[in-house]
Amino acid sequence: MRYLLAIIIGAFLAQSALAEILVPVRTIRAKETITAEDLMFKNVQSPGALSDPEEVIGQEARIALYASRPIHAGDIGPPAIVDRNDLVKLVFRQGGLEITTEGRSLGRGAEGEYIRVMNLSSRTTVTGRIRADGNIEVN
C-alpha cells in the first residue's frame, strides 16, 4: 500500500513540475530573427527555459535553436545593427568638441554593446559602444 501511495504521489509531483515553455517549430540558425510563427508551447520540465513570447519574438538567435528544444535567455539577444566589416561612423565627444571619422567594425553587435573598430584614418583599433543609429561612440 505504501509503495502504491509513493508512486501516486511521485506521479502527481512530476505532473506539477511540468511547465509550458517556448520551443522552436523548426531549426532557427544563429543570427536569424525569431518570429511568432517560429514558436510553439510545449509542456516539459526545463529549468530556466523561456515561456513568455514577448521575451523571444523579435530577438535574434545567438546560437542555432533546434526544433522542440527549450529556449534559454542566453540563446537569444537583440538583433545586431552593425555587422563585421561594416563601414561605420566613429564619434568622439567631450564637452563641446565632437570629432567624427570613418571606421570598419571588427565585430557585430546590437545597440548598447561594445565592439572593436579600426579607425581607417590612423589604422588603430578602438573600442566603442553601438548607438541606435549604428554609429560607434568612442570615449
Say if residue 97's pLDDT is above 50.
Answer: yes
pTM of the model: 0.71
Residue 137 and residue 135: Cα distance in Å, rounded? 7
In the chain, % of residues over pLDDT 90 = 83
Say if residue 34's pLDDT is above 60.
Answer: yes
Q: Which CATH number fits the domain 19-77, given the four candidates 3.30.56.10, 3.90.1150.10, 3.40.50.720, 3.90.1210.10?
A: 3.90.1210.10
Kindly report, as residue ranges, where domains of CATH 3.90.1210.10 are found in the chain. Answer: 19-77
Kindly report, as residue ranges, where domains of CATH 2.30.30.760 are found in the chain. Answer: 87-138
More confident residue, 4 or 71: 71
pLDDT band (50, 70, 90) for residue 16: very low
Q: What is the pLDDT of residue 5?
A: 46
Q: Average pLDDT in the 78-100 region?
A: 95
Q: Average pLDDT in the 116-122 region?
A: 96
Strands 19-24 and 39-44: antiparallel
Burial pattern 27-45, b for ≥16 Cβ within 10 A else e, equals: ebeeeeebeeebbeebeee
* 87-138: CATH topology: SH3 type barrels. (2.30.30)
Residue 110 and residue 77: Cα distance in Å, rounded? 8
37-44, Cβ contacts within 8 angstroms, sequence gap of 24 or more:
42/68, 43/18, 43/19, 44/18, 44/19, 44/70
Residue 71 and residue 60: Cα distance in Å, rounded? 12
Residue 127 and residue 117 in contact, taking contact as beta carbons nearer than 8 Å: yes
Q: Within 13 Å of residue 68, how many CA atoms lie on the same side as its CB?
A: 0
